[in-house]
A and B are shown apart, each in its own frame.
Chain A
Amino acid sequence: MAPTLAVFKLASCDGCQLTLLDCEDELLALAGEVDISHFLEASSAVAPGPYDLSLVEGSVTTAADAERIRAIRAASRHLVTIGACATAGGIQALRNYADVDEYRRVVYAHPEYVSTLATSTPVSAHVDVDFELRGCPIDRRQLIEVITAFLAGRKPDVPDHSVCFECKRRGTVCVTVAHGTPCLGPVTHAGCGALCPAYQRGCFGCFGPSGSVNLPALIPLLRRDGLDDDAVERFLHTFNAPAFDEFTEPGKSDESHETGKEVRK
């Protein structure tokens, strides 16, 4: 019997699961190899678990989703989180630094109708995760690699070096060195193929922190290139805020941090 694949969504923009539908050349071939048993965005046929591989998009922001992710874990042989929301809390984790009641009042006329947690947390804060795929959004090629690897029972080949390596490989001139453009490439996880520098902008860290990060060494460089303290903070505090936070405290930076690798709690 073909292995079963499920796709689930928590708080997110749908962009990471759309990346699966964006695999136009591989979609029908993939559909021939697996049994897509739960993928609400794509199919109204839903089969009950257990699922061989579950992909989870989105972060945990409600009590109901905290329950749901436990049920998803229980129904999944392998659970892979996809995207910055699921691996770091996503942009909605900006609430973790604010007063969520005030947020509720700003956005909703009847804040009492809205139930939400005060924090947005990654899936790994709630359940064991077999692999975390980074990016906001994830990269299509990496997604195919991860699915193929899990189906073949091997480890995904997703290196955790920084965007800088990808710039070198692509032959892109360093935007910091050549133009003094502030860039998070040195501390950001590879995967996008060093997209932003190729379009003449600095990396803004949408893939989150890379394997070994020395953030304190980068900050003076960002200041030199024109960012004031507020701007540095906003630069780091956008799509992967909680994940970069781990590296802003001195001492933490030289510990090698496991990312994009097997994460078992």
Chain B
Amino acid sequence: MTHRGSRVLHVGSLSRVEGEGALRLRVHDGTVTEARLEIYEPPRFFEAFLRGRSHTEPPDITARVCGICPVAYQMSACAAIEDACGVSVGPVIRDLRRLLYCGEWIESQALHIYLLHAPDFLGRASAIDLARTHRAEVERGLRLKKAGNSLMELLGGRAVHPVNVRLGGFHRVPTRAELRPLQEELKQALDDAWDTVRWVAGFEFPDARVEADLLALAEPDTYAIEGGTPTVLRLDGTRESFPVRDFTEHVTETHVAHSTALHSRLDGRLHLTGSLARFAISGARLSPVALQAAVAAGLGDPREGAVCHNPFRSILVRAVETVYAVGEALRIIEAYEPPARPYAEVPPVAGTGHGATEAPRGLLYHRYELDADGVVTSALLVPPTAQNQGAIEDDLRRLAQRAITEHDPDDDELTALCERAIRNHDPCISCSTHFLDLTVVRTQGGCDA
């Protein structure tokens, strides 16, 4: 590491991401030859041990893939198995599922904005460090996060791995009187979410652009959360959709040596899922209050075609999505009338089912094959981070290259930039194992390290 034109940078363990990974950058004569997000979480083999389980079990079991977005796993599992069994749930159960999912969106987006991402913009190591100078803001973030958790605790029993979700619906549905006290907390959360939009809109954003297709679910009349049709906005501006059952015909996974996470391609190209993709695909379907928030955040009006490609600005989109989710939760609670039954029966049928929902960090697809007794014979889980890994690495490579070409930063500065670039994407490494360590290798002349 004598000459800065060539080096290997290695960040052994990334911080403020979910799960454990590392980063490796190789620079040869001033050119970035390799940028790797190395996912080194040990494999946990969910797809293998789901085989032989009853079709009622995947919602509880797959929740344990990820403590940050268990509801996403529960919802994608229910959607896929109900699809296999030919059951669709009624509108009230759908609303309650969306309400629980709103709780996870609020909790997870507030966690990412305040605890993982904002410290980058303000030059702090952590939210706790940030609280020394921005106490009121950090307290606001925690209050917002708590509102999401309260919703999950009431409807799901607890915030991490809710116990109340079952195939076909819920074990027990709340009464109107039980939900009502949440309204006060959510009204405060709506103010806090708005203040979050105003706060993050004042941050300084480096220029950047992700060069990847964007993939998210779309629904005709609403911002997709708990279902919808996979829809792509290509780099050339064209849009296309495909049915969920064709997901693996379009999104293919390959296994690369440096990662226990599988890498995906969408029709052979890099793609990104998550907040930026959802805002591009479904932004026009946001509620009036969330559209206002988007304009206030400086993102423009998605009804007039505004799309955000700058990953540093993803924090703005997350803040807007939080405003949306709080509003949705309030809307659902106000309209709620308990259903006659907490769940629909889901008798087993031999067959294959597909389900996809929008986890806070992107589209999560599940597929199960069942036999006539309802025993799972094969399972496939395609989490958002595994899909995003290729696009994140590409983004990382371009950002590092630009910095090296423009002002040749030293290793510490380059490392900080790369870590930021990764946190922009809110990667959830725990759930992508099937998995990350930064090494910058800078070499000169012929041989590299």
Contact = CB atoms under 8 A, between A and B. Distances in A.
Contact of B255 (A108, A195, A200): A108
A14 B66 CA distance: 7
Contacts of A74: none
B36 to A, nearest CB: 13
B66 A231 contact: no
Contacts of A13: 64-67, 430-431
Contacts, number: 183
Contacts of B15: 40-44, 46
A152 interface: no
A16 B67 contact: yes
B369 interface: no
Contact of B42 (A39, A43, A65, A201): A65
Interface stretch (B45-53, B93-101, B303-311): B45-53
B67 A137 contact: yes
Nearest to B18: A14
B14 interface: yes
Contacts of B131: 28, 31
A239 interface: yes
Given A61-B42, A195-B157, A196-B163, A40 B49 contact: no
Contacts of A61: 42-44
A91 interface: yes
B149 to A, nearest CB: 6
Contact of B128 (A14, A43, A94): A43
B54 A43 contact: no
Contacts of B440: none
Interface in B152-171: 157-161, 163-164, 166, 171
A107 B43 contact: yes
A36 B128 contact: yes
Given A28-B138, A95-B49, A43 B68 contact: no
A234 interface: yes
Interface residues of A, number: 63
A102 to B, nearest CB: 7
A165 B129 CA distance: 41
Interface in B1-52: 13-20, 41-49, 51
A112 B41 CA distance: 16
Interface string A1-39: 000000001111111111101101101100100001001
Interface residues of B, number: 67
Interface string A82-104: 00000000111011001010111
Interface in B268-282: none
B45 A92 contact: yes
B127 interface: yes
Given A28-B139, A137-B160, A192-B158, A42 B257 contact: no
Interface in B258-296: 260, 262
B163 A195 contact: yes
B70 interface: yes
Nearest to A30: B128
A201 to B, nearest CB: 4
Contacts of A95: 45, 48-49
B16 A44 contact: yes
B408 to A, nearest CB: 23
Contacts of B64: 13, 15, 90-91, 136, 239
Nearest to A46: B15
28 contacts: A11-B42, A15-B68, A17-B67, A21-B115, A24-B143, A28-B138, A31-B128, A36-B126, A39-B126, A42-B115, A61-B44, A90-B64, A91-B46, A94-B45, A95-B49, A106-B47, A107-B43, A109-B253, A109-B254, A113-B255, A114-B260, A116-B43, A137-B67, A201-B163, A201-B171, A234-B53, A234-B54, A238-B57
Given A40-B14, A198-B157, 15 more contacts: A9-B19, A12-B67, A41-B17, A42-B115, A43-B125, A44-B15, A61-B42, A91-B61, A98-B49, A100-B45, A103-B48, A113-B260, A137-B67, A199-B172, A201-B164
Interface of B: 13-20, 41-49, 51, 53-54, 57, 60-61, 64-68, 70, 111, 115, 119, 125-129, 131, 135, 138-139, 142-143, 145-146, 149, 157-161, 163-164, 166, 171-172, 253-257, 260, 262, 419, 430-431, 434
